[in-house]
A = this chain, B = another copy of it.
Amino acid sequence: MNNARQNALEYARQNNERFLDELKEFLAIPSISTSPEKNADVQRGAEWVAGQLRSLGMDNVQIMPTGGHPVVYGEQLKAGKDAPTVLIYGHYDVQPVDPLDLWTSDPFKGEVRGDNLYARGSSDMKGQVIASFKAVESVVRTSGLPVNVKWLIEGEEEIGSLNLGEFIKKNKALLKADFCINPDAGLINKDSPTITYGLRGLAYFEIRVYGPDRDLHSGLFGGTVHNPAQALTELVAGMHDKKGRITLPGFYDNVRKSSKAERAEIARLPTTAKHFLKQTNVPALWGEPDYTPEERVSIRPTLEVNGLLSGFTGEGSKTVLPAWAMAKISCRLVPDQEPEEIHKKMVKYMKKHAPKTIRWEVKNLHNSGTAITERDSVGVEAMSKGLEQSWGKRPLFKREGGSIGVVVQLQKYAGVESVLTGFGLPEDNAHSPNEKLHLPTWRKGIDAFVHFFYNMGEL
């Protein structure tokens, strides 16, 4: 191992306690992008990130406005025109914290218990952002960066990167890079560093069913008025058949068929049925019988109920026949499905099945396309090698079940492909109470990033 690399790794090790303190400072900002009452905190998050980039010696650091929450940009192009340019992506916004009473400690006061740091955003993804910052700091403070870097840190990932596409379109030249490193994807387990080469897309709907013009007395009208909550359950239940297949008309038409080779690669992943059972504590798994559990969450599209609301939901009993009922429903999509196409198919389903006894509407709340990246690129190779150097084993390659808007938008609007990795674990409770970050994995992640920069300089 060369001296520069050794020194940077040593710097990272010696400064780790301070890195953790700075992460806690970042986590203390409740930058919940979906809550308008938190707008000032989201702004504070952006300012904190800009301050960090400046302290790392980045140039041209800017908080750039978008139609929603701002993007933080920064760069260091000292490696010169012949050196490759890496765009590093992150987001400084987080998910809401409700239900708050299920948290063991304050979601905005990072608390270390054992090997874990508990806080909203610790794993998704302030911890990952800090890992990339601190790896760069370790390299910059010891030898200097052997590559050019650019940063794109957004504030709307948790609400679907609503304005990022427009931003990327406008700033295509500024964001020009050989590839993007996106550490928002996570590891399969702490001993299996992972590179993700594909993502599912998303089409998110709110379906409302309207009945009478006000809540009615269920005794006086029950039996002769179609209960909107009942009608909604009928419509939602009908969206799957008995085998768990989705019944929206033509839903599977554009699903790309996976090759035997790809399915064989997926079969090597440790995410077996046992793994999913352990992760979730459900009494039994569910899903399409012709696919393995891992295939069902990666190469297959799904339809999920994200929320239900109707009528009386407090303690005890109230004999109301509700005026309306609502379901939040989202479809995870795979190449080559398009969100707009799925929206049309959802409306088609509703037109076909909604009874005449109710009124309904489908709102398309947000969309995200699918993505897939070639595995033999320079970026994949440098990161794959870095992970192997830090963990001592070759990483796994997988397709991710979630959606990451920026990956799709960078590909679509700036022609930049993403290499996805990250140091969050499946059991980190991302989006749930008691979100946490596994610190030993996080530290390995910082090292992997350090290696990545030196690998880039050598390739």
The interface of chain A, by Cβ under 8 A from chain B, is 34, 95-96, 102, 159-160, 200, 202, 204, 206, 211-227, 229-230, 232-234, 236-238, 240, 276, 279-288, 293-294, 296-297, 300, 302, 304-322, 325-328, 330, 332, 355-359, 365-366, 400-403, 426, 429-433
10 A-B Cβ contacts within 8 A?
A96-B318, A218-B304, A219-B400, A225-B276, A225-B287, A226-B285, A229-B327, A233-B308, A282-B357, A307-B322
Once the chains bind, are A214 and B432 in contact (CB under 8 Å)? Answer: yes
Q: A200-B219, A225-B280, A317-B330 are in contact. List 15 more A-B contacts (CB 8 A).
A: A95-B318, A216-B280, A219-B297, A221-B276, A221-B279, A224-B297, A226-B286, A227-B305, A286-B355, A306-B311, A308-B311, A308-B325, A309-B310, A311-B328, A312-B328
Q: How far is the CB of A141 from chain B (nearest CB, A)?
A: 36
| Residues of chain B contacted by A276 (CB below 8 angstroms) | 221, 224-225
| Closest partner residue, chain B, to A204 (CB atom) | B317
Q: Would you give the shortest CB distance from A302 to chain B, in whole angstroms?
A: 4
Q: Using Cβ atoms and an 8 Å threshold, which residues of chain B touch A281?
A: 212-213
- The reply to whether B230 and A237 contact each other, CB–CB distance below 8 Å, is yes
**B residues within 8 A CB of A305?**
227, 229-230, 233, 310-311, 322, 325
Identical chains bound together, number: 2
Whether the pair B297, A431 counts as a contact (CB closer than 8 A) is: no
Residues in B whose Cβ lies below 8 Å from that of A284: 226, 356-357
Q: Is the CB of A309 within 8 A of B313?
A: yes
Shortest CB–CB separation between residue A180 and chain B, in angstroms? Answer: 20
Residues of the B chain whose Cβ atoms lie less than 8 Å from the Cβ of A227: 304-305
Q: What is the CA–CA distance of A175 and B299 in the complex, to the nearest angstrom?
A: 71
With a cutoff of 8 Å between Cβ atoms, the chain B residues found around residue A223 in the complex are 287-288, 296-297, 300, 302, 332, 401
